[in-house]
Structure 1
Amino acid sequence: MNVDLQFHPYPSQRMTVMAKRGMVATSQPLAAQAGLDMLKKGGNAIDAAVATAAALTVLEPTSNGIGGDAFALVWANGSLYGLDASGPAPRSISIEALKERGYEKIPVHGWMPVTVPGAPSGWAELSKRFGRLSFREVLQPAIDYAESGYPLTPILGKYWEFAYQRFKQVLKGEEFQHWFETFAPSGRAPKIGEMWRSADHTATLRSIGDTYGESFYKGELADKIAAFSKKYNAFLSEEDLAGYKAEWVTPIKVNYRGYDVWEIPPSTQGLIALLGLNIVNGYSFSHRDSVDTIHKQIEAMKLAFTDGKAYITDPKEMRFQISELLSEEYGARRRAEISEQAMMPAPYQPASGGTIYLATADVEGNMVSFIQSNYMGFGSGLVVPGTGIALQNRGYDFSLDPSHHNALKPGKKTFHTIIPGFLTKGNQAVGPFGVMGGFMQPQGHMQIVMNTIDFHLNPQAALDAPRWQWMEDKKVRVEPHFPLSLAQALIRKGHQIEMMVDSGGFGRGQIIWRDLETGVLMGGTESRTDGAIAVW
């Protein structure tokens, strides 16, 4: 990589981390160490990724859980593989069934937005295909932390308290009491530095580890999930769980200035990141912190989101070919619509997120870009009794308009926000990267890729650089340390700039790059969270 390892122009308490034998980067220090422990035991980057992901369901439950979805990009044996561990809508659900129950749109909480959880199947598939250690062994750190407990880190404690206060106001039915019993056992959220443990998580993770996830889909855990659903006349059934398996998919890419930028194909919004990069690929940028650069980035991302929200859904129902959307001709056509003034795109309102991201690498050249989420923090607000399984609410993004491309249908996958990224050059792996956080994710991907390739920032500087986030119409939010002169210049171009008081909504990312000549690993971790890099 042509990056300046000395140049670090943005406020941070961290510097780029380097190592040779292995690296794990994620948003929680204990989880990063769990992955590194697998490498030291003789495991590979895939073992490390699964161990870290499972541990994060315990160590950062505000952002992900056992009942969520996951995606991975895996570099192994000189090739890149994609894993889609997202689940579909239940087979018995339908627009008509929801409208008969009085719903005009899918609610955020409760059983209606719950889709089949894919994460446990994703862990098992990764372990079976590429792992070296036993599945139970890589889940053991998660089991140990669930059983023995751990102290809450600062950002984790902040979001846990926020979720508790919100759930206390909005979750009123008896079906939600299991969430409070699990995550607020003392009648409140645990405090920063306070220990939290969960016997239910312990037993569930043991069961998943001992059966390669089979108990979650066809055994004792599946029975408990289905019984909980049936008790409240919900749609998720034993048949839905038994019929699910994470699937291997072909990653999609654009070539950006000699580098291939890879994403998971729809139904994820990774396509949006590639659409944005394909549009700006026709420009030449000399300075990152210039009004021309930021203006064109924002306008390109508006167009990318407009297209993405119009086309992305379950791949079996996509109305356009991905190759057409990512063609040079299509990028040039959209680029021609960008002027010197902020445009008004088609109406669109992004939502909030709740996600973890991790990156791993080992001395053999294996690398993993992995992302996992419940959505909107703790997800649906439902915890399966006696299991610790917090169920996701991904179905919220379905439309109840039958003519909408992302209309709810039985067994259909919805538009999905979480996306892992990967960078290659000349058939060699440069490395994994990602930015968690709802609809900030493709915007973060664009900014990180451009920070690295166009502006030669090292991994930590690429993450620490001030971010912007397009929200809707001409509204753009910027971080507190975003240059005021740039914000004022963007206003003169017609952007409605909102300077935020903190950086909580601007995503949380990780990067691992491998030097193509020396093999040295270079990592950056997010200064906006409790991020950590464990190295060997």
Structure 2
Amino acid sequence: MSQFNIAFTAPHKTATEAGMFILRQGGTATEAMVAAAATISVVYPHMNSIGGDSFWLIDNLGADAPIAIDACGAAAADLAQYQSVKAIADRGGRSAITQAGTISGWHAALQADNNAKLPLATVLKPAIDVAKQGFEVTQSLQMAAEKLFATEGRNQAFKDLYEPNDRPLRQGEHFTNPTLARVFEHLAEHGLMAFYSGELAASFARDLAAAGSSITIEDIAATQAQVVTPLKASLDGVDCYNLPAPTQGVHSLAILAIIDRLKSRAISDIDWMHLVVEATKQSFNLRPQIWGDPNAVTELYEQVLQAPVIDQLAQNISMSKAEPWPFNAAPGDTVWLAARDKNGQMVSFIQSIYWEFGSGVVMRDGGFVWNNRGVSFSLDPRAVNSLQPHKKPAHTLNPAFARYHDGRRLAYGTMGGEGQPQTQAKVFTDYTWRGKSVVEAVASPRWLLGRTWGDSSTDLKVEQQLAEQLGFELDRLRHKWQPVPDNNEMMGHAGAILDTQTHLEAASDPRSDGQASVESAAEAQS
């Protein structure tokens, strides 16, 4: 067992403190994650909420594989209003198409954890306290609030909560959310699944209907997380895990498998960057066939992580020239967190509402926004990701986990929409094959391939420090690229926890408001 044996990392320090609060009491990593997930929904309301989705990988020592939980909300039963439209609305009630699965995922995770013993009131206490007592608005929250202030579709409850002075929230202001605190108190008393029934669900259904959403109380009641079989890619000396469809997990693993085939050809910094970028292109080219509801993807989905397909994708890559790339990346605001408890249980977890502040529709008796994940559906009935009743949308979320054959374990992930597989590949590659520490792997300059929010260009965005170092080489390889400021939030909020036989490390992204904490058993009990 590691000398230091509890750890937590999150993109907001208050969530890390909530997770550590539970771990110090002897709680499991799963219990700590529920505490932090609830807390971060309070302090980072633009990035996630209890009106969104989540996905879990829970790794127990000695288990054959991690437990994977899919808490993705499916589309409403009645979608008649979308039959005559040319596009799905970005905001407002008509963008609120799918159920809110995340709390059902919290419930499923605790049910799957035989060592979870703490009362729910204890687990939810940090979130209740911070919602009542308040917190300081971050720059990230201010920027998202300013963006929403300029959009249509926000309901009056949103304006009352996030624009109390007829203006967006400002960095440094003190913000409280007593309504959300009352929701958590209700769940602490009646159980997490009380979110989907009774007075709360009825109130949510009324708010959604008033905003023009198709989601009914019956849709809310039918929300149910699923324990699923994780995807696995066996690489040189390490087994990598991720979530299956409808997530991007298959892309994240395919990128790593392609890099694994070609890593001997990568010598310099530009070689590694070029290889990761080109592997991303090869994987993303397959999206129309393999990214969507598990019941809708083509047969290629079952083959893409097998050697023949990976070998072919690797052969498509030239180490001397970049392939052209026109794809448009969808934006996504998300939170990724990880935990390690005293018994060695580790969790890689991700939670989101898709775009910043999701649909912009706040539940008046809930104090949170409903997601707009359904925006990712296609209105083309021939598409794999076509909008249909009860169908899950193509999902950007995908938490990652790796088991090394020498006993090391790595929980890692990031926010960032379709940038998630790219950043995961950069962090994993830097640590696993390039000899960097997990702190260096998370903090070092990064890039993002494709369009991001507020930008119509589809090129490679490169943080300034890396651009100054490799710009000439990027031109030589014919990459279409542009520099962006260092420590740029568009690159995602990455993090990692590394558990070895001798030590435990945790990293939080300097691009976030986060914190990574590691403590020994003796420290935790003192």
Q: TM-score range by the shorter chain?
A: over 0.9
The aligned counterpart of 2:145 is 164
The aligned counterpart of 2:463 is 479
Whole-angstrom distance in 1 between the partners of 2:512 and 2:445 = 15
1:86 aligns with 2:66: no
Whole-angstrom distance in 1 between the partners of 2:141 and 2:17 = 22
What is the CA-CA distance between 1:168 and the residue it aligns to?
2.0
The aligned counterpart of 1:39 is 23
What does the per-residue CA deviation read over 1:60-97, in whole Å, with 9 as the maximum and x for residues that have no partner? 11210110100010012522100111100001115xx3
Q: Contact between 2:266 and 2:275, CA under 8 Å: does it hold in 1? A: no
Whole-angstrom distance in 2 between the partners of 1:159 and 1:37 = 25
After TM superposition, the score normalised by the length of structure 2 is: 0.92
Q: Contact between 1:287 and 1:455, CA under 8 Å: does it hold in 2? A: no
Say which is worse superposed, 355-364 or 486-495, in terms of deviation: 486-495
Q: Secondary structure of the equivalent of 2:167?
A: coil
What is the CA-CA distance between 1:217 and the residue it aligns to?
0.8
Q: Secondary structure of the equivalent of 1:436?
A: coil
Say which is worse superposed, 225-234 or 251-260, in terms of deviation: 225-234
The aligned counterpart of 1:54 is 38
What is the CA-CA distance between 1:21 and the residue it aligns to?
2.8
Q: Contact between 2:76 and 2:214, CA under 8 Å: does it hold in 1? A: yes
Whole-angstrom distance in 1 between the partners of 2:478 and 2:109 = 47
Q: Give the residue type in structure 1 aligned to 2:33.
A: A
1:264 aligns with 2:243: yes
Whole-angstrom distance in 2 between the partners of 1:448 and 1:354 = 19
The aligned counterpart of 2:353 is 374
What does the per-residue CA deviation read over 1:284-312, in whole Å, with 9 as the maximum and x for residues that have no partner? 34767532222222111011111134321
Whole-angstrom distance in 2 between the partners of 1:352 and 1:474 = 13
**Aligned pairs, how many?**
506
Q: Secondary structure of the equivalent of 2:466?
A: coil
Q: Contact between 1:74 and 1:81, CA under 8 Å: does it hold in 2? A: yes
The two structures, once aligned, show a CA RMSD in angstroms of 1.9
* Map 1:496-511 → 2, pairs under 5 A: 496-502=480-486, 503-511=488-496
Q: Contact between 1:474 and 1:495, CA under 8 Å: does it hold in 2? A: no
1:208 aligns with 2:187: yes
What is the CA-CA distance between 1:229 and the residue it aligns to?
2.4
Percent of paired sites with the same residue: 30
The aligned counterpart of 1:137 is 122
The 1:427/1:268 distance shift into structure 2, 3 A limit, reads farther
Q: Secondary structure of the equivalent of 1:356?
A: strand
1:435 aligns with 2:414: yes
Q: Contact between 1:355 and 1:371, CA under 8 Å: does it hold in 2? A: yes
The 1:229/1:361 distance shift into structure 2, 3 A limit, reads same
Whole-angstrom distance in 1 between the partners of 2:271 and 2:206 = 57
Structure 2: 5+ residue stretches without partners: 452-456, 520-526
The aligned counterpart of 2:313 is 334
Q: Secondary structure of the equivalent of 1:275?
A: helix
Q: Contact between 1:62 and 1:354, CA under 8 Å: does it hold in 2? A: yes
Say which is worse superposed, 19-28 or 438-447, in terms of deviation: 19-28
1:343 aligns with 2:323: yes
Which of 94, 110, 132 pairs up with 1:112? 94
* Map 1:268-287 → 2, pairs under 5 A: 268-285=247-264
Q: Contact between 2:211 and 2:361, CA under 8 Å: does it hold in 1? A: no
Which of 221, 236, 241 pairs up with 2:215? 236
The aligned counterpart of 2:454 is none
The 1:358/1:232 distance shift into structure 2, 3 A limit, reads closer
Structure 1: 5+ residue stretches without partners: 1-17
Q: Secondary structure of the equivalent of 1:494?
A: coil
Whole-angstrom distance in 1 between the partners of 2:385 and 2:394 = 7
The 1:383/1:474 distance shift into structure 2, 3 A limit, reads closer
Q: Secondary structure of the equivalent of 1:372?
A: strand
Whole-angstrom distance in 2 between the partners of 1:63 and 1:288 = 37
Q: Give the residue type in structure 1 aligned to 2:124.
A: L
Q: Give the residue type in structure 2 aligned to 1:213.
A: L
Q: Secondary structure of the equivalent of 2:117?
A: coil
Q: Give the residue type in structure 1 aligned to 2:512.
A: T
The aligned counterpart of 2:524 is none
What does the per-residue CA deviation read over 1:81-114, in whole Å, with 9 as the maximum and x for residues that have no partner? 00111100001115xx3143xx211121012222
What is the CA-CA distance between 1:389 and the residue it aligns to?
2.2
The 1:286/1:246 distance shift into structure 2, 3 A limit, reads same
Whole-angstrom distance in 2 between the partners of 1:358 and 1:474 = 29
What is the CA-CA distance between 1:531 and the residue it aligns to?
1.5
What is the CA-CA distance between 1:164 and the residue it aligns to?
2.4
Q: Contact between 2:247 and 2:398, CA under 8 Å: does it hold in 1? A: yes
Whole-angstrom distance in 1 between the partners of 2:136 and 2:3 = 28
Q: Secondary structure of the equivalent of 2:94?
A: coil
What does the per-residue CA deviation read over 1:399-437, in whole Å, with 9 as the maximum and x for residues that have no partner? 001111100000000000011100102395603111111
After TM superposition, the score normalised by the length of structure 1 is: 0.91
Q: Contact between 1:90 and 1:116, CA under 8 Å: does it hold in 2? A: yes
The aligned counterpart of 1:148 is 133
The 1:88/1:110 distance shift into structure 2, 3 A limit, reads same
Q: Secondary structure of the equivalent of 1:315?
A: coil
Which of 12, 19, 23 pairs up with 2:7? 23
Q: Secondary structure of the equivalent of 1:432?
A: strand
The aligned counterpart of 1:526 is 509
The 1:487/1:285 distance shift into structure 2, 3 A limit, reads farther
